[in-house]
Amino acid sequence: MRSNGFRLTLLASLLAPVAAFAQTAEPQTAAPAATDSSEAAQAVVAPATTEASVGTPAAEATGATSPATHEVPATSNDADAATQERVAQEDPQAGATTQPPASEPARADAGAQTDAEQAFGDIYGTQEFADPDLPDAAVLPGTYDPWEGYNRRMHRFNNAVDRRVAKPLARGYVRAVPRPVRLGVSNFFNNLSQPLTMVNSLLQGKPKQAGQAFGRFLLNSTFGVAGLFDPATRANLPQKSEDFGQTLGVWGWKRSRYFELPLFGPRTVRDVFGMAGDAPLSPMRQVEADRIRVPLQGLQLVDVRTQLLTTDSLREGAQDDYALVRDAWSQRRDYQIFGDRASKDGKDLPDYLQEQEDSTVPIDAMPVPVPGNG
C-alpha cells in the first residue's frame, strides 16, 4: 500500500508541471461541442488526486500531494482544450462534426430558397441588372382601326374572291405567258402611272421628282415603244409612285382610319378621298371605248395580282391573316408618305419599303363601263 500511494503521489507531482506548461503555451479556448471529452478528462484526473490526498501518513508528511490538489482544478479548461485537439488530430471527421457548416446560417437566412436557388445566387448574385436611369421603351404607333369588325368581314370576302378568281387567273397567266411578255405588260402600266406621279409630286413640293417622272414617261413612251420597255431606268431616271392619298398625308392628314374596300383591298379613309382625286387624271380613264378599256383594266388587275404571288408564302400559316395584311400594308404606306427613301445614317431602307411599284389595286384598274361609250 505504501508503494502504491507513493506512485500516485509521484504521478500527481509529475502532471502538475505539464499542466502548468500547457496553460502558458496555449491560449485558453472553449469548445461547447467538446463537453463530453472534458468531463472524461476530469473523471480521470479527479480519482488520482483524491486518492493521493487521502494517502498514507508518509505521503501526508512529505506534502507532495498539495501541489496536485491545488493545480489540477485550475487547469481543467486547458486539459479540455488539449484533449479536444488530440481527438481532432486522431479523428478529423469527429472534430469536423462539432462545428456547424458555414453554409447553414446562409441557408437559414435564405428562407424558402432551395439549394439550387442558393447556388445560383452565390454564382450570379441576386441584384437587379436593369438600369433604373434608362427611359421607358418606345411605343410604336399602331394601325388606327376602329372599324375592325367591318374590315375583318370585308377581308374574308376579298380573300374568298381572291382564292376563287384572282389567284387562279394570276397563276394561269404566269404559266401561259412568257416572262419577257409579262415584264413588258408591267412596264406598260407603270409608264401610264407616271403622269399621275408627276402631278402629285408637284403638289407635294418635289419639283425634281416631278421632272424625273415626266422624263420617264416621255422616254419610255417613245424609245420604249409605248412603255413596253424601260430605257428610262438605264438613263438613271428612278421610278417613283405618288398618288393623291399620299399628297393628302403630306398636306397634314397624318392619321386616318384603316378601311378595307371590296375588291380594292387595304386602304384608309384618306386614300378613299385620294382615289376620287386620282380618277380624273388617270390615262386609262381617258379611253372612251369600253371594248378597249375594260380588257386593259382586267389585264392590269391580273398583272397586279401576279406581282403579289411572291407574298403568298409569307401569309401561309399566319395566325391572324387580317392583322398581318393590315399591319404590313400600313407600315409600307406610312413609309411612302412620311419616310425618306434612305435612313438617317445613309444606308438604304429594306427592299420591300423602297420598292416603288404599287402593289394595291389602282383606281383606274377596276373595269367599270362608262355609260354612253361604245
**pLDDT tens digits for 244-266?**
999 999 999 999 999 999 999 99
pLDDT at residue 90 is higher than 60: no
CA atoms within a 13 Å half-sphere pointing along the CA-CB vector of 127 = 4
> Which of 14-23, 45-54, 85-94, 341-350 comes out lowest in average pLDDT?
45-54
Mean pLDDT of all residues in 33-51: 44
H or E segment at 40? helix 35-53
Tell me what pLDDT residue 115 has. Answer: 78
Distances in Å between the Cα of 280 and the Cα atoms of 142, 211, 266 are 33, 21, 22
For 344-366, how does the pLDDT look when each residue is reduced to its tens digit (9 = 90+)? 444 555 555 555 555 566 666 66
Tell me what pLDDT residue 289 has. Answer: 86
pTM of the predicted structure, to 2 decimals:
0.58
pLDDT band for 39, please (50, 70, 90 cuts).
very low
Place of cell 394595291: 360
pLDDT at residue 129 is higher than 90: no
pLDDT band for 23, please (50, 70, 90 cuts).
low
Cβ atoms within 10 Å, residue 222: 11
For 205-251, how does the pLDDT look when each residue is reduced to its tens digit (9 = 90+)? 999 999 999 999 999 999 999 999 999 999 999 999 999 999 999 99
> Taking a C-beta distance cutoff of 8 angstroms, is the pair 48, 12 a contact?
yes
Q: What are the residues whose beta carbons fall under 8 Å from the beta carbon of 50, sequence distance 6 or more?
A: none
Tell me what pLDDT residue 368 has. Answer: 54
pLDDT at residue 130 is higher than 60: no
* Higher-pLDDT residue of 314, 256: 256
> Taking a C-beta distance cutoff of 8 angstroms, is the pair 337, 246 a contact?
yes
CA–CA separation, 67 and 70 (whole Å):
5
Q: Is 358 left (phi over 0), alpha (psi -120 to 50) or beta?
A: beta
For 50-74, how does the pLDDT look when each residue is reduced to its tens digit (9 = 90+)? 444 444 444 444 444 444 444 444 4
Mean pLDDT of all residues in 305-330: 90
For 142-193, how does the pLDDT look when each residue is reduced to its tens digit (9 = 90+)? 789 999 999 999 999 999 999 999 999 999 999 999 999 999 999 999 999 9
Tell me what pLDDT residue 29 has. Answer: 44
pLDDT band for 119, please (50, 70, 90 cuts).
confident
Among 165, 161, 142, 158, residue whose Cα is nearest residue 323: 142
> Taking a C-beta distance cutoff of 8 angstroms, is the pair 283, 365 a contact?
no
Mean pLDDT of all residues in 121-127: 66
* Higher-pLDDT residue of 271, 90: 271
CA–CA separation, 124 and 132 (whole Å):
20
For 267-287, how does the pLDDT look when each residue is reduced to its tens digit (9 = 90+)? 999 999 999 899 888 888 888
Q: What are the residues whose beta carbons fall under 8 Å from the beta carbon of 229, sequence distance 6 or more?
A: 184, 187, 220, 223
Q: Where are the domains of the chain?
A: 2-99, 148-365
Cβ atoms within 10 Å, residue 276: 12
> Taking a C-beta distance cutoff of 8 angstroms, is the pair 220, 227 a contact?
yes
H or E segment at 313? helix 312-315
Using only C-alpha atoms, what is the Rg of the chain? Answer: 50
Tell me what pLDDT residue 369 has. Answer: 52
pLDDT at residue 196 is higher than 60: yes
Tell me what pLDDT residue 53 has. Answer: 44
pLDDT at residue 299 is higher than 90: yes
Tell me what pLDDT residue 51 has. Answer: 44
CA–CA separation, 130 and 133 (whole Å):
9
Tell me what pLDDT residue 250 has. Answer: 93
* Higher-pLDDT residue of 140, 227: 227
